[in-house]
Amino acid sequence: MIRAERARYVGDQLAALYPETPISLDHFDPYTLLIAVLLSAQCTDKRVNLTTPALFALANNPRDMAQKSVNEINAIVRPCGLAPRKAQAIKGLSEILLAKHGGEVPRTFEDLEELPGVGHKTASVVMAQAFGVAAFPVDTHIHRLAHRWKLSKRGGTVQRVEKDLKRAFPEDQWNALHLRIIFYGREHCSARGCDGHTCEICAHLNGPPKPKSKPVAKRV
């Protein structure tokens, strides 16, 4: 099966399975989304959603957050890991938003990626989900499934996977599709729950696993 056929099947199956694609990080504006995505690095969305209510009660906008100390922020976000780096990034980016962007989250990849703690993946999520700009953020689930579904070569970098997926799917599907792949990876095709042949999509695309060859008996 050629890659275009694989992509078409994946897109159709995921759209039927997940017609709605709500982002799983609780937020109420671009700034709180930016903070939530930053906190989600090497942390589960569930843990982030348990943490952000207290953080946003402390400060939910750049002006108020910039006035808080790193220690105050860190005391709340520590359960999300990578402390106090995330706390320093939250305070630092809040100060930059005030100084350079009028207290608003910028609407370009370049400006977002200049903020402390914000890499290309975080910027892509914010651009896609806050501003509706077509993007294809690649997390661990997407990286794994792109390889399992042979939409990108195994062992490729995150950057390679992103380019391959953007070529494989129409641009108007990117923002919903990256969330659908994440949902599917969590619920049906996890790293341990599927061997590349078990879940419905893998079984259709890859078929049953090849039987293991029996060892040849040595002559004595």
Q: Is the dihedral of CA 85, 128, 109, 28 positive or negative?
A: negative
Q: Where do we find the tokens 């599927």?
A: 194
Q: Is the dihedral of CA 173, 178, 181, 182 positive or negative?
A: negative
- Measured between alpha carbons, how far is 34 from 86 in angstroms, rounded to an integer? 12
Q: Are 121 and 139 in contact (CB under 8 A)?
A: yes
Two structure tokens written together for 195: 């061997």
User: First CA to last CA across the chain, in angstroms?
Assistant: 45
- Measured between alpha carbons, how far is 163 from 174 in angstroms, rounded to an integer? 12
Residue 46 burial (CB count, 10 A): 10
Two structure tokens written together for 36: 């939530």
- Measured between alpha carbons, how far is 169 from 198 in angstroms, rounded to an integer? 24
> CB-based contacts of 217: which residues, under 8 Å, 6+ apart?
none
Active-site positions? 121, 139
C-alpha distances in Å from residue 181, one per residue of 137, 157, 194: 11, 18, 14
